[in-house]
A and B are shown apart, each in its own frame.
Chain A
Amino acid sequence: MDRIERTIVVPGDILSEDEKRSGEGTYVKDGRVFSLLYGLANYRDNRINVIPLAGKYVPAPGDHIIGIVKDITFSNWIVDISSPYDGLLHISEFPKRIDMEEMSRYLRIGSSLMARVKDVDCTMKVELTVNDRRLGPIKNGRLIEISHTRVPRLIGKGGSMIGMLKKELNCNIFVGQNGRIWVSGNEDDMDLAIKTILIIEKEAHTNGLTDRIVEFLGGEKGSRS
């Protein structure tokens, strides 16, 4: 199903003699395409992209992320977003009107929240918003953290993997682009969900993953009932 031509490359590997094929994670020198990263080179649609196997999350506008409040200032929550850069959530981005003195009633230091990256400027000031029905403080369930580089695999092509998981696992799952994942459901379902997500993280670079996960879930559920 998800068999694509993939090779493991290191920075500096030559990927192509045709500079027009240079995609993400690559650079061009003297008309040739080289890898910038340690990762998987994907030869697709006449373009070569290198998907990293590790690395830090860099926020981009529109990303959904999970943050943890690390400080509260005059009118901003300062939010750790598992990145070299902190996120700022301004009081006005909360869906309802809050007084400044009351900020920590809604989100205190250590609170987790689902948010959207509203804007990132060239100095890497990251503005967040929770002004959306699906976003806001996390009050129950569990939070795990995987490498953000495995998130595309967890979501799958067109949301195929995550859609399957939500259905099979009977859990609510929110995947942050920054690699933090919130799972909510009953205890046994959450245990299995987390176990499954960790397998996906571990085997993200392999072929035929979706099939194996379906098989794994079948086995686990079989042994449960």
Chain B
Amino acid sequence: MIFMEEKISFIKDGLRLDGRRPDELRPIKIEVGVLARADGSCYVEMGKNRVIAAVYGPREVHPRHLQEVTRAIVRYRYNMASFSVEERRRPGPDRRSYELSKVGREALEPVILTSYYPRSVIDVFVEILQADAGTRTAGINAASVALADAGIPMRGLISSCAAGKVGGEIVLDPMKEEDNFGDADMPIAMTPSGEITLLQMDGGLTIDEFHEAMELAKSGCRQIYEVQRKVLIERYSQLEGERGEQAEVTACD
């Protein structure tokens, strides 16, 4: 457990506890095509968050009654590994994971062309291997790249990031301590052209602070977008002639 004294200042000489400027993201690392069985996959590190996303489909819907006649359904499952947090958590979904699965799905579905695959399902599975504030946004970033990797038609990649308020200041991409002891947390997700597909907030913000947080979070999303795009492009440009694992033969069964 972390104990913070009342007077601790979250920002000293313009820098945060981990040395970041208020408008700076934590280091981000993205890898695409990390799983052989999945149709698309992606691994993301944002600070100490480590998440992995897999996409299966479009594939047959089970149970059948969930089928939609005119479009594919999208399922999104956010799941935390037992060892991902400070104190071991019981395996399986809790109320929080159900909510995050719902908003995660709704963050991605607006850009997916579900009408291309009637009566099928696109399954997105997000596993949180280590959590350090911001797992839902890291999960959405990974899922979006995994969807592209699976060849799912989309209007654009979705990028996600939070802004928060700590020590009276609006900061980008809060880490664990800022999230625990801050005054507000606001994760968003958006399309490359800036349309919002996820918006949550808890804490307290004035209208002006909200505007500032929104602009800051959007700038974070734009930076993440550049990394997502670069990783996808480089995967094929670098491998001209010697492609990675994903292209290997899948057993013909």
Contacts and interface: CB of A to CB of B under 8 A. Distances in A.
Q: Do A and B come from one complex?
A: yes
Interface of A: 8-13, 25, 27, 29, 34, 36-39, 52-56, 58, 68, 84-86, 122-124, 143-147, 149, 180, 198, 201-203, 205-206
A146 B252 CA distance: 9
B148 A203 contact: no
B120 A53 contact: no
Given A54-B150, A56-B58, A38 B232 contact: yes
B39 A54 contact: yes
Interface string B6-28: 00000000000000000000000
Given A13-B229, A37-B148, A145-B252, 5 more contacts: A11-B157, A12-B191, A198-B249, A202-B242, A203-B243
Interface residues of B, number: 46
B251 A145 contact: yes
Question: SS class of chain B's interface: helix, strand, loop or mixed?
Answer: loop
Interface string B81-120: 0000000000000000000000000000001010011111
Contacts of A13: 229
Interface of B: 39-40, 57-60, 69, 72, 111, 113, 116-120, 148-157, 191-193, 228-229, 232-233, 236-237, 240-243, 246-253
B192 A84 contact: no
A54 B246 contact: yes
Contacts, number: 112
A34 B192 CA distance: 11
A84 B111 contact: no
A149 B236 CA distance: 15
Contacts of A25: 153
Contacts of B39: 54, 56
B96 to A, nearest CB: 30
Given A10-B232, A198-B249, A84 B58 contact: yes
B247 A202 contact: yes
A68 B252 CA distance: 10
Contact of A85 (B119, B233, B237, B249): B119
Given A27-B155, A34-B155, A38-B232, A124 B119 contact: yes
A144 B250 CA distance: 8
A147 to B, nearest CB: 7
12 contacts: A8-B236, A10-B229, A36-B113, A37-B151, A68-B253, A84-B60, A86-B60, A122-B118, A123-B69, A123-B119, A124-B120, A147-B247
